[in-house]
Structure 1
């Protein structure tokens, strides 16, 4: 046999294109990206750019480095070389998703489904695209189909999130419970379910699920903060602060964490620590200047310290960020009254009442402000409305002592004024 025949064998080009794929794969798996790209470039030159796998790996590295547009071009080039390779198409769709081109990504995923078999990943990622497009019905359908193919924790989490976005909390709760049955040791699902119960006001159920989550992952900062907030609501500030101290090691730049710590110092009894509270809240505000609740809490602390100009500033900032929260207008009205701006104080009270006409505290404070400014008849009218709401909405055991004291003082003062 003539050895020269081997040099012109028709399999030579295929062998050339695939000869170093194993080494490229090994470098990529080892995350030796510099060496990997070097070999890829050598292979692309040797094969005139017609080798699919080196192009595919180069695209993966580009995406890992944050070069999404360049990565997309390489995945598209790999798709041109092998149009029926579903892996290439899925990567093209993934790049489009990361670029925010969700509708285009859906089209590519649908092309994948025409070529390939039923794939959980395709249905799940289509659901994510529809969720970001705010097409929630299609998103729910895709996530349910993904779970029909193969159940995954991630799909349950996203499906529950969609129901929360639709404010269908009953269905969201049902999804998370099903997820717990499927994966009872998943701390993220346990935490999410705990937070759901917390938002619904069922603190005991919330605490139970958060406790189970901490049993599986005792250092999860999100779970610690949620559990500590329940402890804080029960006025056990020292224990809550101990929990927050653990979370601060894991997430030192969490605005929510520093906000909660600040309010713990503010709520300490019998002696609140105002300086520490302001320091923590201002750190939270620095970390997240657009979170309305932080400005609101700073306003409360400054109002309590009788620093009315600062309180006015923070309440105004909070209203700009969240203009539909009635309590902020009430405290702004109190602040304006203490700054001797009676007219604007009344306007703020009226806005608060418009947003929440059933809040008895606003009526009482409005009546006090009216009485202090010699508007006795209007004060009497607001006080009557307060008493109706107070009797209808408060249990005797839950009555705030300070509110009860203010109510009795105002009642006596109004009675004396009417006698005169």
Structure 2
């Protein structure tokens, strides 16, 4: 009965839910003997229930917010995300907040800020920030490389070499350091050191750009055979690189190896049908062989891709000149001159066209400007002498011919024009000396199987008759198809000779392929090429003379169009 009352009491008081009430129940009935076993059981049940969590309790849900950790790199992921998306405005905001929180001690934020400044053209500001990164982590080769890169962009090549050398101490197997050292040495004209560094870069890791720079150095040295060997290896390594294929094709074109030239240029157009450099080279070859209409068709395609290309408008102008459309030629050449005012080849062609149109003052203006830009090219002085002769300045014309003869000892045209000037002035003794000097050069040229312009041959023979020297059989009459072949002087010894007319395109294309994109390292504008000298205008006599000399005067009027219209290629 007592046990039933006890259970009823506990159930009504809800003692089973609280351990403290169990203790109270035990205190009330501890003196009752028949409850001893029940008390022990209730105590055991109480402790067991208290050790388990309440069934109605649930764990707290975690907050979705990232914990605010006190680290300097916590926004690096966001900065990197904005940077690779090229969202530079938001990237700058994130960088600013990061630097404010870290008091300028976040290396990555400073690094990305420097990269953005460089993209915006603020090279000095980027240099200062990269130097800050180098201070924060002085043993980082990447930071030193960026400092050196900024110095290079500022034109401080010697300082860049020192920093790159320091970076090489921390990472001796970085091909990029060796490559950039080679480029710096190339800018300083230390070609041997540059080649050593570029070869080291190729041993560490082969890249197309390294091959291009190495080939460019050999071209600057005039070693075209070695340059071809380098570009051939580059094409074997990267057979689908259109820049390499185009450059190699142009080099073969200079060597008159037309089969290999067409092969590589064709491969370049196969991989990239819109490759304007290869199209420009193909049009130049057509222009060389007198196919002016086909060449203009090719140039029309190039004009859609690069409408502001100086070589393109130069070539178009010389095509019109070959078709004897002189006004259109001058218009195109002046546009080319506007786009590239310091390109002496464009000025040369402008002088040639004005000379053909008997605008001698304008011709003198353009040719003299070209002489100041390229003072070691003999043909410029010869054109200058022709213009001075027509401006009735015979003394300066003689000086110009003497300068041309001193610069080029292989071109018989200089002596021929000089002899005509002396003959017209009545100095037949000196004219005969120049005629025999021309004869020696022609005989040396015949050994090299060089064919000359038929009009040049005819004028020289009539000059011999005017000087009462009789027929001097030193000329080889060219075949009927000679006009479709390159004409020129006999020897490649005139190392200062540069390609004219359509070869402006070839020089520009080679320069673009060997360097860094308009985007990378800046180098020499044109590669040295051995030109085949075209037939140039002869001098008209200032006064009336006997008939043989009148024939000389008449023949020289048509000479310039024959010369430039062919578009000489080397």
Q: TM-score, normalised by structure 2?
A: 0.66
Give me the CA root mean square deviation: 2.3
Distance 1:182 1:341, change over 3 A: same
In the alignment, does 2:129 pair up with 1:74?
Answer: yes
Structure 1 residue aligned with 2:103: 48
Structure 2 residue aligned with 1:106: 161
Deviation at 1:394, TM superposition (A): 4.2
Structure 1 residue aligned with 2:71: 16
Q: Output the CA distance in 1 between the equivalents of 2:169 and 2:397.
A: 65
Deviation at 1:397, TM superposition (A): 8.7
Q: Output the CA distance in 1 between the equivalents of 2:106 and 2:271.
A: 47
Matched pairs, number:
403
Could you list the runs of 4 or more consecutive aligned residues of structure 1 that deviate by over 4 angstroms after TM superposition? 12-15, 394-397
Deviation at 1:208, TM superposition (A): 2.9
CA-to-partner distance for each residue in 1:179-225, whole Å, 9 max, x for gaps?
01101111101112122233444444333322221221222222222
Structure 1 residue aligned with 2:419: 367
Which stretch has the larger CA shift, 49-58 or 77-86? 77-86
Matches for 1:16-415 after TM superposition, within 5 Å: 16-116=71-171, 118-268=173-323, 272-394=324-446, 398-415=451-468
Which stretch has the larger CA shift, 382-391 or 354-363? 382-391
Distance 1:394 1:337, change over 3 A: farther
Distance 1:364 1:114, change over 3 A: closer
Distance 1:247 1:44, change over 3 A: same
Q: Output the CA distance in 1 between the equivalents of 2:132 and 2:151.
A: 15
Deviation at 1:50, TM superposition (A): 1.9
Distance 1:51 1:277, change over 3 A: same
Which stretch has the larger CA shift, 312-321 or 174-183? 312-321
Q: Output the CA distance in 2 between the equivalents of 1:335 and 1:171.
A: 40
Q: Output the CA distance in 2 between the equivalents of 1:115 and 1:397.
A: 58
Structure 2 residue aligned with 1:5: none
Distance 1:226 1:14, change over 3 A: farther
Q: Output the CA distance in 1 between the equivalents of 2:223 and 2:450.
A: 33
Distance 1:403 1:149, change over 3 A: same
For the residue of structure 1 that corresponds to 2:380, the secondary structure is helix
Deviation at 1:280, TM superposition (A): 0.9
Which stretch has the larger CA shift, 106-115 or 237-246? 106-115
For the residue of structure 1 that corresponds to 2:72, the secondary structure is helix
Q: TM-score, normalised by structure 1?
A: 0.89
Q: Tell me, yes or no, if the aligned pair for 1:203 and 1:230 is still in contact at 8 Å.
A: no
Whose helix proportion is higher, 1 or 2?
1
Q: Output the CA distance in 2 between the equivalents of 1:409 and 1:308.
A: 25
Larger RCO (CA within 8 A; separation ≥ 6)? 2
Q: Output the CA distance in 2 between the equivalents of 1:90 and 1:391.
A: 58
Deviation at 1:410, TM superposition (A): 2.4
CA-to-partner distance for each residue in 1:335-381, whole Å, 9 max, x for gaps?
22223333222222222222223322222222222222333333333
Which stretch has the larger CA shift, 13-22 or 115-124? 13-22
Distance 1:101 1:343, change over 3 A: closer
Q: Output the CA distance in 1 between the equivalents of 2:189 and 2:436.
A: 47
CA-to-partner distance for each residue in 1:139-158, whole Å, 9 max, x for gaps?
21211111111110011111
Which stretch has the larger CA shift, 148-157 or 246-255? 246-255
Q: Output the CA distance in 1 between the equivalents of 2:161 and 2:436.
A: 60
Deviation at 1:164, TM superposition (A): 1.9
Unaligned ranges ≥5, structure 2: 1-66, 471-545, 547-570
Unaligned ranges ≥5, structure 1: 1-11
Q: Output the CA distance in 1 between the equivalents of 2:166 and 2:381.
A: 54
Q: Output the CA distance in 2 between the equivalents of 1:52 and 1:251.
A: 42
Distance 1:227 1:14, change over 3 A: farther
Structure 2 residue aligned with 1:7: none
Which has the greater radius of gyration? 2
Structure 1 residue aligned with 2:14: none
Q: Output the CA distance in 1 between the equivalents of 2:149 and 2:283.
A: 38
For the residue of structure 2 that corresponds to 1:17, the secondary structure is coil
